[in-house]
Amino acid sequence: MKTLKGEAPLLVYECVSVPVRTENRQERKTGAGLGSAPALQMMMMRRSTFTASAFQLQQRQIEMGNFPKLPSFLFFIHQHITTSTASTTKISLSSRNNGGFCNNYSTLHSVADAAASFNELLSMRPMPPVVEFNKLLGSLVKKKHYSTVISLCKQMNLSNIKPDVYTLTILINCFCHSNHDHFHFAFSVLGNMFKLGLQPNHVTFSTLLNGLCSKAKIIDAVKLFDEMVKMGYEPDVITYSTIINGLCKMVSTTMAIQLLKKMEEKGCKPNVVVYSTIIDSLCKDKLITEAMEFLSEMVNRGISPNVVTYSSILHGFCNLGRSYEATSLFKQMVERNVMPDTVTFNILVDGLSKEGLILEARCVFETMIEKGVEPNVNTYNALMDGYCSQSQMDEAQKLFNIMVRKGCAPSVRSYNILIKGHCKSGRIDEAKGLLAEMSHKALTPDTVTYSTLMKGFCQHGRPQDAQKLLEEMRSYGLLPDLMTYSIVLDGLCKRGHLDEAFELLKAMQESKIEPNIFIYTILIQGMCNFGKLKAARELFSNLFVKGIQPDVVTYTVMISGLLKGGLSNEAYELFRDMAVHGCLPNSCTYNVIIQGFLRNGDTSNAGRLIEEMAGRGFSADSSTFQMLSDLESRDEIISLFMRGSSQARKMK
pLDDT value for 115: 82
Task: Find the mean pLDDT for residues 285-305.
Answer: 94
Residues 6+ apart with CB under 8 A from 393: 387, 418, 421, 422, 425, 427
Where among 211, 227, 252 does a domain terminate? 211
593 part of a folded domain? yes
In the chain, pLDDT over 70 holds for what percent of residues?
79
For the chain, what is the domain count?
2
Range of the domain at 5: 1-211
Residue 357 pLDDT class (50, 70, 90 cuts): very high
Half-sphere exposure of 629 (CA within 13 A, CB side): 7
Long-range contacts formed by 240-244: CB under 8 A, 24+ apart? 240/268, 240/270, 240/274, 241/54, 241/55, 241/58, 241/70, 241/271, 241/273, 241/274, 241/277, 242/55, 242/206, 242/209, 242/210, 242/213, 243/209, 243/213, 244/274, 244/277, 244/278
Q: How far apart are the C-alpha atoms of 176 and 146, rounded to whole Å?
A: 9
Does the pLDDT of residue 32 top 80, yes or no?
Answer: no
Q: How far apart are the C-alpha atoms of 463 and 488, rounded to whole Å?
A: 6
Task: Find the mean pLDDT for residues 396-417.
Answer: 95
Across the chain, mean pLDDT equals: 81
pLDDT digits (tens, 9 = 90+) for 131-178: 989 998 988 888 888 888 999 999 998 888 999 999 999 999 888 887
189 part of a folded domain? yes
Q: How far apart are the C-alpha atoms of 317 and 355, rounded to whole Å?
A: 12
166 part of a folded domain? yes
592 part of a folded domain? yes
Q: How far apart are the C-alpha atoms of 24 and 167, rounded to whole Å?
A: 20
644 part of a folded domain? yes
pLDDT digits (tens, 9 = 90+) for 477-532: 898 999 999 999 999 999 999 999 999 999 999 888 999 999 999 999 999 999 89
540 part of a folded domain? yes
Does the pLDDT of residue 279 top 50, yes or no?
Answer: yes
Does the pLDDT of residue 374 top 80, yes or no?
Answer: yes
Where among 211, 227, 257 does a domain terminate? 211
Residue 423, CA distances (Å) to 416, 455, 480 in order? 10, 8, 20
What CATH number is given to the structural domain containing 647?
1.25.40.10
pLDDT digits (tens, 9 = 90+) for 557-605: 999 999 999 899 999 999 999 999 999 999 999 999 999 998 888 888 8
* Peptide bond just before 126 cis, omega within 30 deg: yes
Residues 6+ apart with CB under 8 A from 234: 266
Helix, strand, coil fractions of the chain, as percent rounded to 5: 65, 0, 35
pLDDT value for 98: 53
Where among 173, 190, 211 does a domain terminate? 211
Does the pLDDT of residue 626 top 60, yes or no?
Answer: yes
436 part of a folded domain? no
pLDDT digits (tens, 9 = 90+) for 64-95: 333 333 222 222 222 222 233 333 334 343 44
Residue 218 pLDDT class (50, 70, 90 cuts): confident
In the chain, pLDDT over 90 holds for what percent of residues?
53
Of residues 540 and 101, which shows the higher confidence score?
540
Residue 219 pLDDT class (50, 70, 90 cuts): confident
Amino acid sitting at position 538: E
Residues 6+ apart with CB under 8 A from 564: 528, 533, 596
Q: How far apart are the C-alpha atoms of 249 and 234, rounded to whole Å?
A: 24
C-alpha of 275 from chain center = 22
Q: How far apart are the C-alpha atoms of 148 and 21, rounded to whole Å?
A: 15
Q: How far apart are the C-alpha atoms of 146 and 288, rounded to whole Å?
A: 40
Residues 6+ apart with CB under 8 A from 219: none
pLDDT digits (tens, 9 = 90+) for 421-478: 999 999 999 999 999 999 888 899 999 999 999 999 999 999 999 999 999 999 988 9
The residue among 412, 408, 359, 411 whose CA lies nearest residue 383 is 359
The residue among 629, 570, 632 whose CA lies nearest residue 596 is 570
Phi, psi of 98 (to 5 degrees): -110, 70
591 part of a folded domain? yes
